[in-house]
Amino acid sequence: MTALILASTSRYRAALLARLGLPFSCLPPAVDETARDGETPAALAVRLARAKAAAVATRQPGAWAIGSDQAAELDGHALGKPGTHEAAQAQLAAMSGREVLFHTAVCLSDGTRHLEAADLTRVRFRRLSGAEIERYVAAEQPLDCAGSFKCEGLGIALFEAIHSQDPTALVGLPLIPLCGLLREAGFQLP
């Protein structure tokens, strides 16, 4: 069986991939995630997903590597991972009562072939008070999440609506298109 490697150290992505029942390992991709000048959030997600998959695939000949990346977009600008409580609170305050776009890309690469897909998820945040934001950030510590929330946890309480073709995309790995890419690469799935 061909080896499958998740080019990520994200426990969220690993938990999603485990749902498919395929054996896999994880390796850090060691890719610079800095946006390029003028790069849209959608283009950033696609470029980084491909770069992550390619970086791991070239280190592991004969294996298929899965790279995925997500960029949150508000008013045409990418929102990164907050890193601090203050930055997370500021992001959530800026998104309060607004629609935010989440671009999630996935790439499956063997080092020469790159099979890619992307998902666009629209999240409508409800109006959030400063106290609600503070309680949420203290409770869930979403400092390593684009957009400062964990939709698979308490973060779901921050929303009015989610519109997407793949509910797993918002967590960081769109499984519906990934299944198609895996089938195209010869992996056996139901």
| DSSP three-state, residue 128 | coil
DSSP 104: E
Q: Measure the CA–CA gap between 5 and 89, rounded to whole angstroms.
A: 34
32: annotated active-site residue: no
Q: Measure the CA–CA gap between 170 and 173, rounded to whole angstroms.
A: 7
Query: Which DSSP string corresponds to 28-68?
Result: ------PPPTT--HHHHHHHHHHHHHHHHHHHSTT-EEEEE
Over the Cα atoms of the chain, what is R_g? 17
Q: Which of 32, 37, 69, 144 is catalytic?
A: 69
Contacts of 93 (CB under 8 A, 6+ apart): 128, 130, 133
Active-site residue set: 69
